[in-house]
Amino acid sequence: MLPPVLQAPGPDYLRSLRAAAAHRVPPPLCDSHTHLDQFDDATLEGMLARAADAGVVMIVSVGTTLESSRRAVELAERHALVYAGVGLHPQDIKGPVGDAEMVVLRRLALSSAKVVCVSETGLDFQAASPDRRWQEESLRRHVRLARELGKAVDFHAREAYEDILPVLREERIGEVGAIWHYFQGDARHAAEAIGLGCYISLAKPLLRETALQEAVREIPLERMVLETDSYPQLFKKNAARRTEPAHVAQVAEKVAEIKGVAFAEVAEATTANLRRALRMG
Ligand SMILES: [Zn+2]
């Protein structure tokens, strides 16, 4: 007879392994940027459950207009996993941002302890985007609001990587705290932004874009956060391919592969980084 350690595992042993696996707590993950207010309630419930199963402990849902900022705050009040950002997206501004709009954003930010950043703001210099001066002035006003509130700015930059850095520098963004959302720049852009005090947020383009993978090799893990930028991708016929917060685990896996570290290390570091970036202690 074989000694016990060499015998085939019995049913009790297999059952206890399965039980341990079922109770395994996945490492904590955070999704630093989403638009959850754009989903209907039923879709949202399913997504939040899948996110929690994947180990997601925090999802930041940011506003793009006054109305969507209000809904983001409402969602944050309703769901433990959800935190909110309030702001006006550079593509959603219709003219120079006025005092009245900033007063509403300020009131919304102060209305809930779960508002953790001023977002979404930034510069979007595609050909059909709103006037660049309106966008820049709006970004500056958002940074100043964040400074006054003691909250971070989570910002968007599209076709404006060279233009946004001087604005951030002039506004002394390091004193305010900031996250560069959906980063797709090169290592130099990342290094400059980190030098100004920003964190770099990586999303699913990292899974396929080799230039971004190269940049990530140079970005220190302690300055990275992760996101999905989830919004309803109804144009994707196959619902299983629509991005949702649980997919932040795929981004973490890719970072782990590029950096040659364990998934759990990326999950834990990026969770700690987001809390630090948002000054959550
Ligand atoms: Zn966004």
Residue 41 and residue 3: Cα distance in Å, rounded? 57
Burial 22-47 (b: 16+ CB within 10 A, else e): eeeeebebbbbbbbbbbbeeeebeeb
Ligand 1 centroid–CA 22 distance in Å is: 34
Report pLDDT digits (tens) over 88-134.
Answer: 999 999 999 999 999 999 999 999 999 999 999 999 999 999 999 99
Ligand 1 centroid–CA 175 distance in Å is: 23
Residue 228 and residue 115: Cα distance in Å, rounded? 19
Q: Decide if pLDDT at 198 tops 60.
A: yes
Lowest mean pLDDT among 21-25, 39-43, 147-151, 193-197: 21-25
Q: What is this structure's pTM?
A: 0.91
Burial 154-184 (b: 16+ CB within 10 A, else e): bbbbbebbeebbebbeebebeebbbbbbbbb
Ligand 1 centroid–CA 62 distance in Å is: 7
Ligand 1 centroid–CA 5 distance in Å is: 54
Q: What is the pLDDT of residue 15?
A: 74
Q: Which domains does the chain have, with CATH numbers?
A: 27-277 (3.20.20.140)
Q: Mean pLDDT over residues 190-217, rounded?
A: 98
Ligand 1 centroid–CA 64 distance in Å is: 8
Ligand 1 centroid–CA 230 distance in Å is: 8
The angle at the Cα of 23, spanning 21 to 24, to the nearest 5 degrees, equals: 65
Q: Which amino acid is at 17?
A: L
Ligand 1 centroid–CA 195 distance in Å is: 23
Q: Decide if pLDDT at 16 tops 90.
A: no
Long-range contacts of 171-178 (CB under 8 A, 24+ apart): 171/140, 171/143, 171/144, 173/143, 173/197, 173/198, 174/198, 175/147, 176/143, 176/146, 176/147, 176/152, 177/146, 177/151, 177/152, 177/153, 177/277, 177/278, 177/279, 178/152, 178/153, 178/154, 178/277
**What is the pLDDT of the chain when averaged over all its residues?**
94
Q: Mean pLDDT over residues 67-86, rounded?
A: 98
Look at strands 56-62 and 29-34 and give their pairing: parallel
Ligand 1 centroid–CA 231 distance in Å is: 8
Report the share of the chain in percent with pLDDT over 90. 87
Report pLDDT digits (tens) over 176-189.
Answer: 999 999 999 999 99
Ligand 1 centroid–CA 118 distance in Å is: 12
Ligand 1 centroid–CA 228 distance in Å is: 9
Q: Decide if pLDDT at 207 tops 90.
A: yes
**Phi, psi dihedral angles at 199 (to 5 degrees):** -100, 155
Q: What is the pLDDT of residue 2?
A: 55
Ligand 1 centroid–CA 30 distance in Å is: 15
Q: Decide if pLDDT at 22 tops 70.
A: no
Q: What is the pLDDT of residue 1?
A: 54
Ligand 1 centroid–CA 84 distance in Å is: 12
Q: What is the pLDDT of residue 240?
A: 82
Binned at pLDDT 50, 70 and 90, residue 23 comes out as low
Ligand 1 centroid–CA 218 distance in Å is: 25
Q: What is the pLDDT of residue 188?
A: 96
Ligand 1 centroid–CA 34 distance in Å is: 6
Report pLDDT digits (tens) over 208-265.
Answer: 999 999 999 999 999 999 999 999 998 888 888 899 999 999 999 999 999 999 999 9
Q: Decide if pLDDT at 13 tops 80.
A: no
Q: What is the pLDDT of residue 73?
A: 98
Ligand 1 centroid–CA 271 distance in Å is: 19
Residue 277 and residue 273: Cα distance in Å, rounded? 6
Contact 172, 198 (CB under 8 A): no
